[in-house]
Amino acid sequence: MSPRMNVLITAGATREPIDAVRFLSNGSTGATGAALADALVAAGHAVTLLRGEMTVAPRAAVEGEIFSSAADLRARLQRQLAAGKFDAVIMTAAVADYRPREVTSEKISSDAAELTLSLVRNEKILPQLKPFSPRPLQVVGFKLTVGADDTAGRQAVARQFADGGVDLVVHNDLDEIRAAAVHPFRLYSSAQGDPENISGAAGLAAALGRHWLAGRARAANQRKTG
C-alpha cells in the first residue's frame, strides 16, 4: 500500500490571448489529468486539480482551480506550492510554448485580408516547480510526441530531463494513443533507463505510487545513515 500523498495535478490546455475574444490554444481536453485525479483519489491520495477552461472534470470530488494562460497557470502553481502542503506535482497540462507579443483589450477587426501575429516564447514552468515549494517535491513531467519512433521518443524524454526539475517523465505519442483501445504510457525514471510500459490512468497512478513509496524509503535510509 502506497503512503498517502498530497498531489497537485495540472490538466488541459492554456489559452494565450490575442485580443478581447480570441486566443491561441491546443487540442488538449484534460482527460488524462482528470482520469489520474480519479485514480489517485481511489487509491487513497489527496488531490488538487488545476485545469484549463472548458476541459474534462474528474468524477471524484477534488479541490481545484481553473487556469487560463501559461502565466496564469504559473502563478497558481507558485501560490499553491508556496503553502508547502504538496508531496508531488503531475504536470499533464499542455502549456503553450508561445504567446502573442502584443495583446489588445479590444476586438481586432476581421475586415483585413491578412493578419500577422508576432509570437514570443513562454518561460518553461517545469524547472521552477521545486523552488516554489518549501518542502521536498516529486515532479512528474509529461512529454507528447506525434509519430515518433523509439529513438525520437527517447530523445524528447532526455531533453525534458536535461531541462531539469523532473524526477519522472511520462511519454505519450499521439499516434499510439489514437490506435490503442486503452491509453498507453511510458514512464521513465531517468534519461538513460528503459521505460515502464503502462496501460490506462489507473495503471499509471499505481506505478507512480510505487515510485513515491520507493523514494520515501530511500530518503528514510539516507536520514538513518546521514
Cell of 203: 495503471
How far is it, in rounded angstroms, from Cα 48 to Cα 55? Answer: 15
Left, alpha or beta for 9 (phi > 0: left; psi -120 to 50: alpha)? beta
pLDDT in tens, 62-96: 999 999 999 999 999 999 999 999 999 999 999 99
pLDDT in tens, 158-201: 999 999 999 999 999 999 999 999 999 999 999 999 999 999 99
For domain 6-97+117-225, give the CATH number.
Answer: 3.40.50.10300
* pTM attached to this predicted model: 0.93
- Do 213 and 3 meet the contact criterion of CB atoms below 8 Å apart? yes
Task: Give domain limits for the chain.
Answer: 6-97+117-225
